[in-house]
A and B are shown apart, each in its own frame.
Chain A
Amino acid sequence: MNEILISPQVSLELFLSSLVLLFLSFALYHTLYILLRYDKNATNALQYELEKRSLLTTTIIKVALLISIFLFILFVLSIDTLAELIPGAMCGAGVVNSGIYGSLLIALKFIVIVLAIFWIQVDEEDQKAKGFPYFSLKMYLYIFLYLLIALSWFLELNFFMSLSVEEPVLCCSNLYTSQTTSFMLGMSIEEIVVAFYITYLFILLATYLKKKVFLSLLSILFLYLSYITIVYFFSTYIYELPTHKCPYCILAKEYYFIGYFIYGVLVMANYYVLYGVVFSFKEHTKSKIITAYTLFVVLVSFKYIYYFLSNNLFL
């Protein structure tokens, strides 16, 4: 048996996420059962039975999704402890990069969390509005979410199985490099940082003007830019080490767990955008989007600006 799989954190994480997937599969069966028969104008016994069944199903989904959000933290922590088992890995990033689909898995989990929070909100709105106006949105979104979660479970299993305690890895191997890499459209990292701030300003503008389509596109672009700038630029200021390019260590105690705030605020920002785009774009949604993005930008660039102001130079 693979030493990784039987380590306590990983086996607990895998066990719990399998359990959650089991519940979600059960709920998926009922979701499909309901969707095929639902007719909201009917008053027959079948329809009332379906309405009861959908209440039960959505409750199961809600609880399972909440658990899977907490499981993400467990996942992050178990990866962190694996760094001690895998030769060469000094932090989670080394572990993530040494297994197959590591980064894809993290990205997928991020999307799942945003959509899971969003699904819970849709359910809430559906119960509060009269006549279940978001019923089909909720059901179809769940099917999509289920596919993502099942995929992420499958990738996770493969990921953990592909890790080896014998083969040494280069921690942050492709991250720990000082040579200039080019990113999107051949831009340098400095240009990407400028694009990051400009996109931020456009997001504020799009939010202010309530341009939903524009805002959704910008938020996806911003998510991508955030990842690159955090890894290759902002984190180096947080670590105060120009060669330490890692999205992971900012979660560590040494850096006051700042990473949890950074990623948490980013999740919330994307969630509010989703909320604003799908539901009413009220004044309070507007201010939540603006606050979350601004907080995120402040959190990531604080050390950089501090460093820049106190030394008047770049790293």
Chain B
Amino acid sequence: MIQLQNVNKVFTDTNHNNFQALKDISLAISPNECVLLHGSSGSGKTTLLHIIASLMKPSSGLVEVKGENIVSLSDYHASAYRRSTIGYVTQSFYLLDNLSVEENLLPALVLESLSEKEMAQKIKKALSLANIEHKAKQKVSTLSGGEKQRCIIARAIVNDAEIVLCDEPTANLDKKNSLFFLGLIQNLKNLRKTILIATHDPIFEKLECVDKVYNLEGGSLE
């Protein structure tokens, strides 16, 4: 499903100083696997997720998703790939605060040529999977942290993405909501999603459906 070969990422700042955030990363994730990416802060987890989501291009290396090197996609196809294949659970609550929960899911769908009825159905399904259906009409700014997180998860799966990437999903949650999140991951796994979670939260040891764990340290896999 996802295969990385010798992926490097070098950031160059305005003084032409190079910083290598990822060093020769190679990994393989099969369909429907749930994979943990452990690593302390600054180890390159977000960079790696961005590269898999085609939000960022690596400096070199192969990033193959469903048999295709996504690095060389044109902007047009890269955004099509993101829309159709990737669900991204962001670390911070990147939501449109002044809109309701269901309105926050709309941007992910408007570019697909769907009827309003189909859109409403997809939104309803995603909201109920993420267990936030009862707040559908509520403004996001009035939600609690845990509810915002569920809203983000609903947004990540509303386009039926096959791959769900989570970047430190429990960083802003209390224990109770973190445990609830683990339950949602289990649901996604049952829905045959391929899941990659970047985290340094030990609570994920409780997650039973994990197939594989990678450790990222200083930009290299151990």
Give the number of residues in A that approach B within 8 Å (Cβ atoms): 14
| Residues in A neighbouring B60, C-beta threshold 8 A | 43-45, 48
Q: How far is the CA of A40 from the CA of B5 in the complex (A)?
A: 17
Residue of A nearest to B63 (CB): A43
**Nearest-neighbor residue (CB-CB) of A51 within chain B:** B72
Q: B74 within 8 Å of A by Cβ?
A: yes
Some 13 contacts from A to B, beta carbons below 8 A apart, are A43-B60, A43-B61, A43-B62, A44-B60, A48-B60, A48-B72, A52-B57, A55-B75, A127-B76, A128-B74, A128-B76, A131-B72, A132-B72
**118-158 of chain A: CB within 8 A of chain B:** 126-128, 130-132
Count how many pairs of residues, one from A and one from B, have CB atoms less than 8 Å apart in the complex.
32
Tell me the dominant secondary structure on chain A's binding face: helix
Across the interface, which residues of B come within 8 angstroms of A126, CB to CB? 74
B interface footprint on A45-72 (CB within 8 Å = 1, 0 otherwise): 1001001100100000000000000000
Could you list which residues of chain B lie within 8 angstroms of chain A, going by C-beta atoms?
Answer: 5-6, 8, 57-62, 69, 71-77
Main secondary structure of the interface of B (DSSP, over half): mixed
- Chain A contacts of B58 at CB under 8 A? 48
Q: Separation in Å of the B69 CB from the closest CB of chain A?
A: 7
> How far, in angstroms, from A66 to B25 measured CA to CA in the complex?
43
In the complex, chain B residues whose CB is within 8 Å of the CB of A52: 57
Give Cα A43 to B60, complex, Å: 6
Give the nearest-CB partner of B73 in chain A. A130
B57 touches A48 (CB 8 A): yes
Flag if B72 contacts A40 (CB, 8 Å): yes
- Rounded to whole angstroms, the CA-CA distance of A52 and B75 in the bound complex is 11
State the A residues within 8 Å of B (CB): 40, 43-45, 48, 51-52, 55, 126-128, 130-132
Q: Taking A48-B72, A132-B74 as given, write out 17 further A-B residue pairs in contact, using a Cβ cutoff of 8 Å, ordered by the A residue number.
A: A43-B6, A43-B60, A43-B62, A43-B69, A44-B60, A45-B60, A48-B59, A55-B75, A126-B74, A127-B74, A127-B75, A127-B76, A128-B74, A130-B73, A130-B77, A131-B72, A132-B72
Q: In whole angstroms, what is the CA distance A43 to B63 when docked?
A: 9
Chain A nearest CB, measured from B33 CB (Å): 23
| Closest A residue by C-beta to B75 | A127
What is the distance, in angstroms, from A209's C-beta to the closest C-beta of chain B? 33
Q: How far is the CB of B3 from chain A (nearest CB, A)?
A: 12
A162 CA to B141 CA, complexed, in Å: 71
Task: Kindly provide the distance from the CB of A283 to the nearest chain B CB, expressed in whole angstroms.
Answer: 21
User: Smallest CB-CB separation from B62: which chain A residue?
Assistant: A43
A132 / chain B contacts, CB cutoff of 8 Å: 72, 74
